[in-house]
Chain A
Amino acid sequence: MKKVLIYGMGKTGIELMRFCKRKSIGYLTFDDNTNTPEQFVLYLSQCHLIITSPGVGLRNKNIRLAIKKKIKVISEIEFASRFLSKPIIAITGTNGKTTTTLLTYKLLKSARLNVFLGGNIGTPLIKAVESQDKYDFILVEVSSFQLQFIDTSFSPFISAILNFSENHLDHHLDMNEYAESKRKIFRNQTTMNYSLSSMSELFHPESKSIRLNPLKNKKIYSKDNQIIVGDIKIMAKELKLLGPHNVENILFSLNIFCLIKKITNKQIIALKTFSSPPHRLEIIKGGKYIVNDSKSTSPQATEVAIKSFSNKIILIMGGKDKKLDYVSLARLIKNKVKLLILFGENKFELAKILNPKTMYLAPSLFEAVSTGLKETKRGIPLVFSPGTSSFDEFSSFTERGETFKKYVKELS
């Protein structure tokens, strides 16, 4: 009997291994960090199927070799789908996946539905298989890596692509391949499934599913700083989510929900009390208006952050020097940033390119926070949106965000 090869031994790989063990499926494990390419060639002759963890893409030489040798490569979500009989709701997109998925989760929960939450956020989908009887829905955030290796089983009841722009090209071969992998979220959907996207070119030509554009729903829409759901109007001020990009996320979540149940007051309350997940334009509780956007690892993300505020802000930026394009950001900073505080490896570089009216070069994040706190007054938010990755000082954006929050607590 040929075995399955579990590729990547992170959280997902370990869960896959446990699952195979319990179901007595013969398996091999492989990880780029601990195994050699020679071993992979050896393993190839012993397996008939490769199950990839998120983060393993077509750029991976071993995977390309396996495909060339006609060995089936599928992702973990595809493998898990073969064992799932509960309806799946799948959400993907370039930006805003996690916020939308968490909001959808909260809306479904507010209707007393039992929902498994997983995929890219936290729990791998394979963990849902053995406990699926107690769930009404399986809600997954999926990345384009996982979608790359979809075969015929992953067929969600509702699929959504929130938006699509250039990003993650370091993991994909080119833009076409990136779009093609996103589109796969719709591919296996049947006539009685729903596909949601605001870009009609993203719908899969082979699928006959019900195609909906959540931004063109006549009953749920946004107008002049309001979100309108039937007869109910919600002012943007009443929400804890910041920024126009989140309006689209909210519309997607509400549209997904209304395909399952009617929107009632309970969902409106859930929406009003929903706040951003940590490090994504997260409002820090306290006397002053302080926002942690440590998730921002690109100039585009910082742009989105700045646009989320109608007033001028104080902005803290900086981190690893990645040689990114800051041209359009520079213009925005000139108009909307009262004081720019720079720190980290690329602070001198940034100072030169962005060239704002007022700026402060901080020797460390601690100094940056302390200056920022001194300068903030009523109505002027202090925003931490680094605009680059964190690897010069921190292991991840989470650690960076946590450090920021710690400093804010210490200093105020």
Chain B
Amino acid sequence: MSKNYLNSIEPRILFLTSTILLSTIGLLMVFSSSSIIAMENHADSFFYLKRQSLFLFIGLIIMIICSRLNTNVLSKNHKFFYIIGVILLLLVLVPILGRKSGGATRWIQFLSFSIQPIEIAKYMLLIFIAQHLNIKNTRIKEFKIGVVSTFLPCLPYIFLLLLQPDFGNTVLICLTVFSMIILSGAKISHILSIFFVLLSSFLSLIYIAPYRMKRVMSFLNPYDDPQGTGYQIIQSFVSFAKGKLFGVGLGNSSQKLFFLPQGYNDFIFSIIAEELGFLGSMIIIILFGILIWSGFKMLERAKDLFSRNLISGIIILTSLQIIINISVTIGLMPTKGVPLPLISYGGSSLIFTLFAFGLILALDKRKN
């Protein structure tokens, strides 16, 4: 019954409603989880809330502008967008611009704000891949022309990401592009052969860099090193345990009091689970479900391959981010550094997620 009811609602409205609800909840939770840290570090408990509100405002404006975009601009200039993405990732490597944080250089400094280029670059890559698949669609069942030629353009991105290093986004991009290629009708055996090549090279990368090894190990056995690599995950578990069914109540989290670093960022879902409990976190997951579902509804009624490719790319990327982020907080995956879309604190992520959602709305309108 509920499915029929959902079916009768216009997908655009569902999509927008869930986007706005989720980002509002995000705002609230960012405030709740960051206020004390903000007071401590910036002498202003509204510091993160103010910034995140500004980001949300900018993001919503960008979303509205994008939703009115003629999407032919995207498909015609796909190579241009690709190059922009590469340039942004290269900027991180420029010593004056790149900003180091936590052993990795993922940010570029821009006045008082810093930008995480991958949050923009990944959508640039998706635009390119969507058009590329549109062109190569008829030959997608051939290994070289269909599959390899689509995956090759991802390699510069992967290479630049590994230099930062940003392992989480590398995996995210690979999985998204694989899914897009499969959706276009490629043979699974072709995808698997590339997948295994990548998997073996990733595994060797893990063996080379010890901190990755530590992260992987800590996710499997966090209690081996509770004060070191296992610390974040254990604190996350504690949050979940404290939350129980109904949560300790909004603003009452004790984990956010410096026990869980980045409680307003990658681990915001743990704070949500603690303050709003199992029910609250389920509501968030259901809202995400509606968001994804209505996205797929718009995919199904899109009338051209480029729109279908790009919508599917954005939806898959968003879904994977949600899955990876939540899995990390409940200890199903190693710590990745992937934010929870619309909810985690962070301007680049929020603004460009909304940018991509605006594109979905524009593509949905596109006729012929």
Measured as residues with beta carbon below 8 angstroms from the partner, the interface class of chain B is 20 to 34
- Which stretch of B36-44, B304-312, B322-330 is in the interface? B304-312
Least Cβ distance of A134 to chain B in Å? 13
- A157: Cβ under 8 A from any B Cβ: yes
**Are A86 and B308 in contact, with the CB atoms below 8 A?**
no
Docked Cα-Cα span, A137 to B133, in Å, equals 17
Residues of A within 8 A of B305 (CB): 192, 210
Contact segment of B110-118, B134-142, B207-215, B347-355: B134-142
Distance A80 CA – B87 CA, assembled complex (angstroms)? 47
User: Do B138 and A210 have beta carbons less than 8 Å apart?
Assistant: no
Chain A 137-168 interface 0/1 with B at a Cβ cutoff of 8 Å (1 = within): 10000000000000000010100000000000
| A85-B141, A86-B141, A260-B138 given; A210·B302 CB < 8 A | yes
Q: Does A262 contact B (CB under 8 A)?
A: no
Across the interface, name the chain B residue whose C-beta is closest to A190: B185
User: A48 on the interface (CB 8 Å rule)?
Assistant: no
* A191 lies within 8 A of B368 (CB): no
Could you say which of A86, A87, A193, A217 contacts B368, with CB atoms under 8 Å apart? A217
Residue-wise, chain A 189-226 has the 8 Å CB interface mask toward B (1 for contact) of 01111000000000000001010100001110000000
**Cα A354 to Cα B325 with chains together (Å):** 78
Q: Does B51 contact A (CB under 8 A)?
A: no
B52 on the A face (CB < 8 A): no
Q: Residues of B contacting A321 with CB < 8 Å?
A: none
Complex Cα distance, B231 from A398, in Å, reads 84
From residue 70 to 105 of chain A, which have CB atoms closer than 8 A to chain B?
85-87
Q: In the complex, A394 Cα to B245 Cα: how many Å?
A: 84
Residues of B contacting A86 with CB < 8 Å?
A: 138-139, 141
Question: Once bound together, how far apart are the Cα atoms of A137 and B139, in whole Å?
Answer: 9
Q: How many contacts A-B (CB < 8 Å)?
A: 44
8 Å CB contact of A192 from B187, B308, B367 = B308
Q: Is the CB of A191 within 8 A of B303?
A: no
Contact (Cβ within 8 A) A87 B183:
no
Instruction: Verify B308–A219 contact, CB threshold 8 A.
Output: no
Contact A192 B302 (CB under 8 A): no
Number of A positions contacting B (CB below 8 A): 18
Q: Is B10 close to A, CB under 8 A? A: no
Which residue on A lies nearest to B134, using beta carbons? A192
Contact B138 A157 (CB under 8 A): yes
Say if the beta carbon of A31 comes within 8 Å of chain B: no
Min CB distance B146 to A, Å, is 9
Determine how close the nearest CB of chain B comes to the CB of A82; give it in whole angstroms: 12
Set of chain B residues within 8 Å of A190, measured between Cβ atoms: 183, 185
Query: Are B185 and A210 touching (Cβ within 8 A)?
Result: no
CB within 8 Å for A210 and B183 given contacts A86-B141, A192-B308, A260-B138: no
Q: Does A136 contact B (CB under 8 A)?
A: yes
Give me 26 A-to-B residue pairs in the complex whose CB atoms sit less than 8 angstroms apart, sorted by A's number: A85-B141, A85-B142, A86-B138, A87-B137, A87-B139, A137-B138, A155-B185, A190-B183, A190-B185, A191-B299, A191-B300, A191-B308, A191-B312, A192-B133, A192-B183, A192-B185, A192-B305, A192-B308, A192-B309, A210-B302, A210-B303, A210-B305, A212-B303, A218-B367, A218-B368, A219-B368
Interface residues of B (CB under 8 A from A): 133, 137-142, 183-185, 187, 299-300, 302-305, 308-309, 312, 367-368
